[in-house]
Amino acid sequence: MAATLALIAHDRKKDELVDFILQYQGIFARYHLIATETTAQRIQQGTNLPVEQMLSGSQGGDVQIAAQVAEGKILAVIFLIDPLFSQPHEPDIQLFQRICAVHNVPLAINISTAETIIEKLRQSRIAHLIFNPVAGHGNAEQELSLIRQLLEPHMHLRVHQTTPNESAEDLTKQAIETDPDLVIASGGDGTISAVAGMLIGTQIPLGVIPRGTANAFAVALGIPLALTPIRSACQVIINGNTRVVDAASCNQRPMILLAGIGYEAETIDKATREMKEQWGALAYLIAGWKQLNQQELFESEIEVENQVYQVTSSAAITVANAAPPTSVLAQGKGEVIFDDNKLDVTIATVQTQEEKPLINPRFRAVATMINMLGAALIKTNPELPDVYHFRTQRIKLTTNPPQKIVVDGEMIGTTPVEIECIPDALTVFVPKNNGSEKGWDRQESLS
């Protein structure tokens, strides 16, 4: 169901409508409001609530609203009529009686019937969908239509599309201010990370509808993506299963997946949008293969738990809050647990040619990554001599020379970097009975 309420009032009823909205302002604030011109102005002046302004009733504003009712964009109409003293220029209730009856949309014509609608709204769930129309390779308009078709029978859905001027963070902040029951992010990992970052600590559940190239967070949550990812993700949200997971802060920036330093950052940087549009997820493999010959080693100073360690000949460092098995460089222990209140730190080093004179470094690196991927798929410790792993709540990294950093798929600069786990920071929708025995031991249901 759409999350838009239409508001109309005859001249002698406008003050009564404003008083009614003030009485239930908390509920009205959760919905998108539209009204005829003068009514909209009076509501905004009296309540400070944002109202989309149509034409005046005399110029066809009521017809504009009726058209939206016919298009299925209106959840309910509150039209306070003056049965005794209405003027010829004022909107005619008969238009709405007919159009609302045809399309089965609730219509209130006085305060008593309006209160019935408000009581129903009080019991309903409001979901805000933050939708990135440029994510992925599909038809964004068709994908949004499918999402609405799947979700609107189960909740009142307000849709916000990102633009060059309105980021996912901005739209999520606006959504939070209306006290929603849940927020849904649809796009690539960058969009989902941006929305999740704004929800940290709010206890507002996050739904994920992946439409990107890697979709790493959705895979980490266990959302099945093989055939119909949008349908699968929507069904997970409809089922209402939620879990509380950790998040992290990386140089004061929210992080839900991982930070890659060195090889992974260089690989992500080389995987251009043009490559991803042409090759999809294979773009990362192509970029990664090229980077194997170009990756320079670096020295690292690592500070954890008030201890400082020096590591020479590092090729990649990954600090993960969550990661799917395909995030190979995060799999130092074969599994990343993201509700254990710790970060998984994996350091990949390269032994010198004197130590391994008969093995090409490129093929040794490939073999190491294959072993790590296999360990991740079966959740076992790969025990590789070139790979070191530990878990910590906080880490500070300095490298020589400085290295690029990628966080949740987005380049953010170069080292030094400081990353800290934020325990139990985020509530997410997941498939039922998902997760490992070590983590995921807390489960809730959103009714």
With a cut of 80, say whether residue 201 has pLDDT above it: yes
Is 211 in a helix, a strand, or coil?
coil
CB-CB neighbours of 14 under 10 Å? 21
What amino acid is encoded at 37 in this protein? E
Better-predicted residue by pLDDT, 147 or 276 = 147
With a cut of 80, say whether residue 1 has pLDDT above it: no
What mean pLDDT is predicted for residues 191-199? 95
Tokens, residue 428: 């997410």
In which region does residue 104 sit, left (phi positive, over 0), alpha (psi from -120 to 50) or beta (all else)? left
Please identify, among 208, 239, 270, the residue that sits at the C-terminal boundary of a domain.
Answer: 239
The overall average pLDDT reported for the chain is: 84
Catalytic residue among 11, 15, 19, 62: 62
Better-predicted residue by pLDDT, 82 or 328 = 82
What amino acid is encoded at 416 in this protein? P
Please identify, among 239, 270, 286, the residue that sits at the C-terminal boundary of a domain.
Answer: 239
Better-predicted residue by pLDDT, 409 or 436 = 409
Domain count, the chain: 3
Tokens, residue 142: 């068709």
- In this structure, the answer to whether residues 278 and 388 fall within a common structural domain is yes
**CA nearest 304: which of 388, 368, 406, 410?**
388
- Is the bond into 210 cis (omega within 30 degrees of 0)? no
Please identify, among 239, 271, 304, the residue that sits at the C-terminal boundary of a domain.
Answer: 239
What mean pLDDT is predicted for residues 235-247? 95
- In this structure, the answer to whether residues 278 and 416 fall within a common structural domain is yes
With a cut of 90, say whether residue 427 has pLDDT above it: yes
- In this structure, the answer to whether residues 75 and 131 fall within a common structural domain is no
What is the pLDDT, as a whole number, of residue 371? 47
Task: Give the lowest-confidence range in 293-302, 307-316, 364-373, 376-385.
Answer: 364-373
What mean pLDDT is predicted for residues 191-202? 95
In terms of average pLDDT, the best of 86-100, 240-254, 320-334 is 240-254
What is the pLDDT, as a whole number, of residue 287? 61
62 belongs to the catalytic site: yes
With a cut of 80, say whether residue 31 has pLDDT above it: yes
- In this structure, the answer to whether residues 130 and 95 fall within a common structural domain is no
**CA nearest 375: which of 330, 318, 435?**
330
With a cut of 60, say whether residue 237 has pLDDT above it: yes
With a cut of 80, say whether residue 85 has pLDDT above it: no
CA 164, CA 373: separation in Å to the nearest integer?
37
Residue 217 lies in a domain: yes
Q: What is the CATH number of the domain that holds 43?
A: 3.40.50.1380
Residue 289 lies in a domain: yes
What amino acid is encoded at 232 in this protein? S
- Structural domain of 274: 258-421
What is the pLDDT, as a whole number, of residue 353? 47
- In this structure, the answer to whether residues 380 and 279 fall within a common structural domain is yes
Q: What is the CATH number of the domain that holds 184?
A: 3.40.50.10330
- In this structure, the answer to whether residues 285 and 386 fall within a common structural domain is yes
Residue 52 lies in a domain: yes
With a cut of 80, say whether residue 140 has pLDDT above it: yes
Better-predicted residue by pLDDT, 365 or 77 = 77
List, for residues 317-373, the tens digit of each pLDDT value.
889 999 877 676 777 666 788 899 999 998 887 655 444 444 444 445 444 544 444
- In this structure, the answer to whether residues 134 and 229 fall within a common structural domain is yes
What mean pLDDT is predicted for residues 421-428? 96
List, for residues 255-302, the tens digit of each pLDDT value.
999 998 887 777 776 666 676 666 665 555 666 656 666 667 888 899
What is the pLDDT, as a whole number, of residue 357? 46
With a cut of 80, say whether residue 219 has pLDDT above it: yes
In which region does residue 187 sit, left (phi positive, over 0), alpha (psi from -120 to 50) or beta (all else)? left
Q: What is the CATH number of the domain that holds 338?
A: 2.60.200.40
Residue 167 lies in a domain: yes
List, for residues 51-61, the tens digit of each pLDDT value.
999 999 889 99
- In this structure, the answer to whether residues 276 and 384 fall within a common structural domain is yes
- In this structure, the answer to whether residues 27 and 99 fall within a common structural domain is yes
What mean pLDDT is predicted for residues 140-168? 95
Handedness of CA 339, 441, 185, 176 (dihedral sign): negative
High-pLDDT (> 70) share of the chain, % = 81
- In this structure, the answer to whether residues 106 and 221 fall within a common structural domain is no
Residue 427 lies in a domain: no
- In this structure, the answer to whether residues 17 and 114 fall within a common structural domain is yes
Residue 18 lies in a domain: yes
Q: Band of the pLDDT at 50, cuts 50, 70, 90? A: very high
List, for residues 181-190, the tens digit of each pLDDT value.
999 999 998 8
Q: Band of the pLDDT at 382, cuts 50, 70, 90? A: low
Residue 36 lies in a domain: yes
CB-CB neighbours of 371 under 10 Å? 18
Residue 446 lies in a domain: no
With a cut of 50, say whether residue 447 has pLDDT above it: no
- In this structure, the answer to whether residues 265 and 340 fall within a common structural domain is yes
